[in-house]
Amino acid sequence: MSTVGEAATTTAGTANGAITGTTTGTRRLGGRWLGVLALLVIALVLPFLLSGYRIFQLTQITVYAVAILGLNLLTGFSGQISLGNGAFSAVGAYASSILMIKLGLPYWATPPLAGALCFVAGYLFGHPAARLEGLYLALATFALSIVMPQVLKLDTLEPWTGGTQGVYVTKPVSLLPELISDDQWLYFFCLAVAIVMFVVAWNIVRGRTGRALVALRDHPIGAGAMGIDTVSYKSVAFGVSAMYTGIAGSLGALVAGFISPDSFTYLLSIQFLVGGVVGGIASIFGTLVGAVFIELVPDLANKISESAPWAIYGVLLIVCMMMMPWGAAGLVHSARAWLARRSTRRTRS
């Protein structure tokens, strides 16, 4: 699977052009900013239109989006597959809970600290892992996601992790209880963090680091020849990805109010991958689609068939991949290209 890089290149090419830095003309750019603005407005208004469980789902989607963004930065842009991001999510979540419970830190201080810790953890993991390619890296990261719950259940760590029984996390309380409920407050907090993380990702991708990562993904040998320290950049990519997933984990802990080793099995890592690919692995826009998918589709599958919901989920996955091999972002790009071809044909005739 050294052709993960090829996959990402194609998706990047078929996804938002801005990701790879191609200019699309002021009119298109204007359209894109309009789209972002529309999304922002919807995001700000929605919690007042929904209630209870739906707000929880909306918040969960925001959290997943940050996690999937972390995966996309790693797999989509630097071409390193990871089936172990769930483990970093666990690190972030537990770090957060320890900071809040043992050190008494307020909830809003924990995501940055958890993120920093996860960056270091990711970097340390990524350094030896940089030697591995494709399937071998997939196994190594998958092993990480299998190992993590076991480590969390260890007796020696129980005073910190609460062992098999897990830890309760106090949910944040709204500072404006008349206008905004606790659930809505939490949502806005997560949304704020998510927006910051998206802006940071945008800048990474468009900056020197981003270009180096893309060079690394597409032509590792050439990149090395140009003086890019492959191992360093790959480790940094892992660190960044872990940081994002760790922040998502710490937010997720607040949203769920409870964490345990079994919340972070390999299934979580697989869900992140599913979200990433369904959305479009080298697309920032795609992460939103992916997040919505992994949050809402399992419920949908359950509604269709209560006896074998996962079978329905599997069928939906396969159907999605057959209809959108490059993810939702790829579909959008293809549609735009098709529209562009039609309009130029019209202007020509």
Partner 1 sequence: MQAFLHQLLSGLAMGSTYASVALALVMIFKATHQVNFAQGELAMFSTYVAFRLVGAGVPYWAAFVITLGFSFIAGIAIERLLMRRIQYASPLTAVIVFIGLLVIFNSMAGWIFSATTQVFPSPFEGPHAWYGTIYLSPHEVGMIGMTLVVLTIVFLFFRFTRLGLAMRAAAENPQSSRLVGIRVGWMLALGWGLASALGAVAGMMAAPKLGLEPNMMGGVILYGFAAALLGGIDNPWGAPIGGFIVGVLENLAGAYLVGSHLKQTLALALIVAVLVFKPSGLFGRTVVVRV
Sole window of 8-16, 38-46, 208-216, 335-343 interacting with partner 1 (rule: CB under 8 A): 8-16
Between 241 and 250, whose beta carbon lies closer to partner 1?
241
Decide if 66 contacts 194 (C-beta within 8 A): yes
Sole window of 5-13, 53-61, 166-174, 200-208 interacting with partner 1 (rule: CB under 8 A): 5-13
Near partner 1 by CB under 8 A: residue from 132, 180, 200, 204 = 132
Show Cβ contacts of residue 213 under 8 Å, excluding neighbours closer than 6 positions.
Answer: 77, 78, 233, 237
* Exposure on the CB side of residue 223, measured as CA atoms within 13 A: 21
- How many residues interact with partner 1 (rule CB under 8 A)? 49
DSSP codes, 66-104: HHHHHHIIIIIIH----S-HHHHHHHHHHHHHHHHHTS-
Sole window of 2-10, 38-46, 230-238, 336-344 interacting with partner 1 (rule: CB under 8 A): 2-10
Decide if 180 contacts 121 (C-beta within 8 A): no
Q: Least Å distance between CB 274 and partner 1?
A: 6
Place of tokens 């997939």: 138
Between 107 and 264, whose beta carbon lies closer to partner 1?
264
CA atoms of 238 and 244, how far apart (whole Å): 10
Q: Least Å distance between CB 237 and partner 1?
A: 17
Between 174 and 302, whose beta carbon lies closer to partner 1?
302
Report the site for partner 1 in 288-347 (rule: CB under 8 A).
307-311, 313-318, 320-322, 325-326
The structure tokens listed for 39 are 């999304």
Question: Is residue 7 close enough to count as binding partner 1 by CB under 8 A?
Answer: yes
Between 34 and 147, whose beta carbon lies closer to partner 1?
147
Choose among 180, 192, 230, 167: nearest CA to 63: 192
Per-residue mark of binding to partner 1, 50-79 (x: CB under 8 A): -------------------------x----
Question: Is residue 157 close enough to count as binding partner 1 by CB under 8 A?
Answer: no
Report the site for partner 1 in 247-286 (rule: CB under 8 A).
270, 273-274, 277-278, 281
CA atoms of 76 and 134, how far apart (whole Å): 13
Phi, psi of 23 (to 5 degrees): -80, 145
Between 250 and 263, whose beta carbon lies closer to partner 1?
263
* 111 burial type by CB count under 10 A (0-12 exposed, 13-18 middle, 19+ buried): buried
Between 127 and 171, whose beta carbon lies closer to partner 1?
127
Between 189 and 266, whose beta carbon lies closer to partner 1?
266
User: What are the C-alpha distances in Å from 345 to residues 144, 207, 336, 340?
Assistant: 52, 35, 14, 8
For 258, the 3-state DSSP assignment is strand
Residues contributing to the site for partner 1 (CB under 8 A): 1, 3-4, 6-8, 10-11, 75, 81, 128-129, 131-133, 135-136, 139-140, 142-143, 146-147, 150-151, 221-222, 270, 273-274, 277-278, 281, 307-311, 313-318, 320-322, 325-326
